[in-house]
Structure 1
Amino acid sequence: MLEPTLVYDDDCGFCTWWADYFDERTDLHIVGFSDLPDHPDIRERLPEYYEECSHLVTERRVYSCGASIEEALRRYDSGGPVAETLGFLRNFEDYARIREWGYRQVADNRDTWGKLMSKTPPARQQSDDER
């Protein structure tokens, strides 16, 4: 049985900050892109161009891009105000389009956001150790 797993770009400091945030606050398993060869069961469920965004993989479905972060936030705050707000927003026809637009705006500017929130990515830690 596959445990809910957040798959992210582990060569990105901003992405690593968020992955660690969810790792500390949810029951999600965290897997970086560079670790996918060790998780063929997860890799085979991801879209062809999986490196374009994060994914949250569950037994039943794969949430990609903005939907992955939304689902991670819902799990972080199950039954709380964030989860309630997300439930409310899902009632609006344009919500998914706006969510994905927002995700893309942040993802396309990770370098800038990384100046505010960042951790040394695991992929870079390994590279530094090999030198």
Structure 2
Amino acid sequence: MPELPALIYDGDCGFCTRSARLTEKLPVQARLVPWQEADLAELRVTEDRARHEVLWVDETRRVFGGASAVAELLKHCGGPWESVGMILSAPVVRTIADWVYRRVSENRHRLPGTTPACQLPPERRPGAGA
């Protein structure tokens, strides 16, 4: 089990990997873990869920998925990022963010620079060697 909090992402998806790599630039103390290397049973998360959405696991082992995971990650950054996370968590904005997240997730393989099965070696995945 990774140290918590942790961002669990699809390590075989180029878009997901680049997005996870962006979090390395944020002021947040969290582990980045491809779901393929995470103990999903310990997290009480199904492989199907991990395949379809980014997950944020907080210090209490509470799991957030999709746009809520992004909002929680931002809340852990502090400063202005925390405010952005709070806004993304507001009911009306959350509904819109969920819709946008689903559209991007469903079409991530169509985004520039990605393929349906982008395989990165473990040493090139975000969080490797951290």
TM-score between both structures, scaled by the size of structure 1: 0.71
Between the aligned partners of 1:105 and 1:46, the Cα distance in structure 2 is 25
For structure 2, list consecutive stretches of 5 or more residues without a partner in the other structure: 123-130
Deviation at 1:86, TM superposition (A): 3.5
Which residue, out of 103, 106, 120, partners 1:105? 103
Paired residues, number:
115
> Which residue in 1 is equivalent to 2:42?
44
Report if aligned partners of 1:11, 1:124 keep a CA contact under 8 Å in 2. yes
Q: What SS does the corresponding residue of 1:95 show, helix, strand or coil?
A: helix
> Which residue in 1 is equivalent to 2:83?
84
- Residue identity (%): 24
Report if aligned partners of 1:2, 1:58 keep a CA contact under 8 Å in 2. no
Structure (1 or 2) with the larger CA radius of gyration? 1
Which structure 2 residues correspond to residues 56-67 of structure 1 after superposition, within 5 A? 56-60=56-60, 61-67=62-68
Between the aligned partners of 1:109 and 1:16, the Cα distance in structure 2 is 15
Between Structure 1 and Structure 2, which shows a larger proportion of helix residues? Answer: 1
Letter of the 1:83 counterpart? E
Which residue, out of 29, 49, 60, partners 2:31? 29
Report if aligned partners of 1:74, 1:83 keep a CA contact under 8 Å in 2. yes
**Which whole-Å deviations, capped at 9, do the CAs of 1:44-97 have from their partners, x for residues lacking one?**
224323221110111221111111112223334x121x4324424544x32222
- CA distance 1:43–1:17, shift in 2 (3 Å): farther
Between the aligned partners of 2:54 and 2:101, the Cα distance in structure 1 is 10
Please provide the CA RMSD for this pair.
Answer: 2.7
> Which residue in 1 is equivalent to 2:76?
75
Between the aligned partners of 1:56 and 1:46, the Cα distance in structure 2 is 13
Between the aligned partners of 1:47 and 1:109, the Cα distance in structure 2 is 23
Runs of 4+ in 1 over 3 A off after TM superposition: 88-91
Q: What SS does the corresponding residue of 2:74 show, helix, strand or coil?
A: helix
Between the aligned partners of 2:67 and 2:86, the Cα distance in structure 1 is 15
- CA distance 1:5–1:43, shift in 2 (3 Å): farther
The question of 1:10 aligning with 2:11 is answered: yes
For structure 1, list consecutive stretches of 5 or more residues without a partner in the other structure: 127-131
Letter of the 1:99 counterpart? A
